[in-house]
Amino acid sequence: MTVALLAGCSAKADSELSASDPTFAGLDSEVTKEVLASPVAEDRVAGDDPAVASARYQGIVRNFVLCRDAYASYKTWLKSGESPGLPRQPNPTNPAPTAGDMEADIKLFRDDLDSGDISLVRERLSSANGCGGWIPATPGDLSGQTIADAVKAGR
């Protein structure tokens, strides 16, 4: 990990990471790059020491994948009338100490998708406090519509 100490700079200057950092081994590099470029993700790690920031960024990458997979499953369910379930989620080669929190989130989405009640998934994706409230619906479009906005718009 490269550490840059630049006074007065953004939170990311305190812990410059790249998609090739061992923290992200086993995770999608394009999603990792997107997260590392996200001002919202950067705000979420502001003030963290480098080790904590690294672990939190790993969790955010996993959360982007989970939320987008749940959103894709939701859209399939809307079209087909049947839940396709949740795709297998990627595991980092070097899981952060907080990886257990992510497993709980995966279980919540998996349970909702397996419930037979699409409204549970809709609510979880469109909640202001959930992942859909800040993750872009279109990968790489950091200033575009969030998943929550897309769900609320019927997309």
Q: What is the mean pLDDT of residues 14-36?
A: 91
pLDDT digits (tens, 9 = 90+) for 84-117: 999 999 999 999 988 778 999 999 999 999 999 9
Residue located via tokens 């020491």: 49
Q: What is the mean pLDDT of the chain?
A: 89
Angle at 23 between CA 100 and CA 70, to 5 degrees: 50
Q: If you count DSSP H runs as helices and E runs as strands, how many of each does the chain have, helices first? A: 6, 0
Give the orientation angle of helix 50-80 with respect to helix 99-114, to 10 degrees. 10
Q: Residue 11 has what DSSP assignment?
A: G
pLDDT digits (tens, 9 = 90+) for 65-80: 999 999 999 999 999 9
CB of 59 closer than 8 Å to CB of 96 = yes
Across 1-15, 84-98, 131-145, least confident range: 1-15
